[in-house]
């Protein structure tokens, strides 16, 4: 698995409407593995493919409340394994393969290929959302409280699920990304411009610091 760079607002690629996946292939699964690893590394709960620069209709997600604690425990175990197997690369690769296999076996991660919302409730709910492409900013967004989703899973099998609570909010947030929308687009124009200016300023300061280093 590879941790990929996450693109951030105002990168114009985030306004791209992603294309459907023709077939869930090994390459698709490798991309989803990379996306999940990238999401965990950034301490997020959802990630759309366009956020790593791939304009395909793919989402990965893990909203389980304990995955961060699980990852911390796994990281500690992995560190001990690496010390014991310092001179044995094969052992390290085997430990990483076991960790990933156990993660998938727990069914905590979710994989959505070509997701389609086929029903939304009339009832709405406000939730304070954040986004890995809009770092450090959170605000309330109103969305339907429930929805029904049709999609292909990690193996390419068709699935349909009813979503409620955080799952409903998160899937709608990530579906927006597939349609070229970030959650800032749900806010007032004034607030949106304010956030973009702050992000641009932070990016300039980061570039200046790198140039001086």
Predicted pLDDT of residue 94: 64
Residue 31 belongs to some domain of the structure: yes
Q: For residue 167, tell me if it sits in a domain.
A: yes
**Number of domains forming the structure of the chain:** 1
Provide the pLDDT for residue 88. 56
Determine, yes or no, domain membership for 75: no
* CATH number of 30's domain: 3.90.45.10
In a domain? residue 69: no
32, part of any domain: yes
User: What residues contact residue 72 under an 8 Å CB cut-off, 6+ apart?
Assistant: none
Cβ 19 vs Cβ 56: under 8 Å: yes
Residue 69 confidence (pLDDT): 46
Residue 43 domain-assigned (yes or no): yes
**Dist. CA 33–CA 48, nearest whole Å:** 12
Residues marked as catalytic? 174
CA distance 53 to 195: 22
CB 172 within 8 A of CB 143: yes
**Mean pLDDT for each 10-residue chunk of the chain (213 residues)?**
93 97 98 97 96 98 67 44 49 60 60 98 96 93 97 97 95 98 93 88 81 78
- Give the model's pLDDT for residue 166: 93
- Which structural domain, as residue segments, surrounds residue 140? 12-64+108-212
């Amino acid at each position: 698995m590879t941790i990929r760079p996450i693109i951030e607002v105002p990168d114009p690629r985030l306004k791209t409407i992603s294309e459907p996946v023709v077939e869930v292939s090994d390459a698709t699964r490798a991309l989803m593995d990379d996306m999940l690893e990238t999401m965990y590394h950034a301490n997020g709960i959802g990630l759309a493919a366009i956020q790593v620069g791939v304009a395909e209709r793919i989402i990965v997600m893990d909203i389980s409340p304990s995955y961060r604690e699980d990852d911390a425990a796994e990281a500690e175990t992995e560190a001990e394994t690496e010390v014991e197997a310092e001179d044995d690369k094969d052992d390290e690769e085997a430990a990483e393969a076991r960790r990933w296999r156990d993660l998938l076996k727990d069914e905590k991660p979710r994989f959505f290929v070509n997701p389609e919302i086929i029903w939304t409730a009339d009832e709405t709910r406000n939730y304070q959302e954040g986004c890995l492409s809009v770092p450090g900013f959170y605000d309330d967004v109103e969305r339907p409280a429930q929805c029904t989703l049709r999609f292909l899973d990690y193996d390419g099998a068709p699935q349909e699920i009813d979503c409620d609570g955080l799952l409903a909010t998160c899937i709608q947030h990530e579906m927006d990304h597939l349609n070229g929308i970030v959650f800032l687009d749900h806010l007032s124009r004034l607030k949106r411009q304010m956030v973009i200016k702050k992000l641009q300023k932070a990016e300039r300061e980061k570039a200046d610091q790198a140039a001086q280093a």
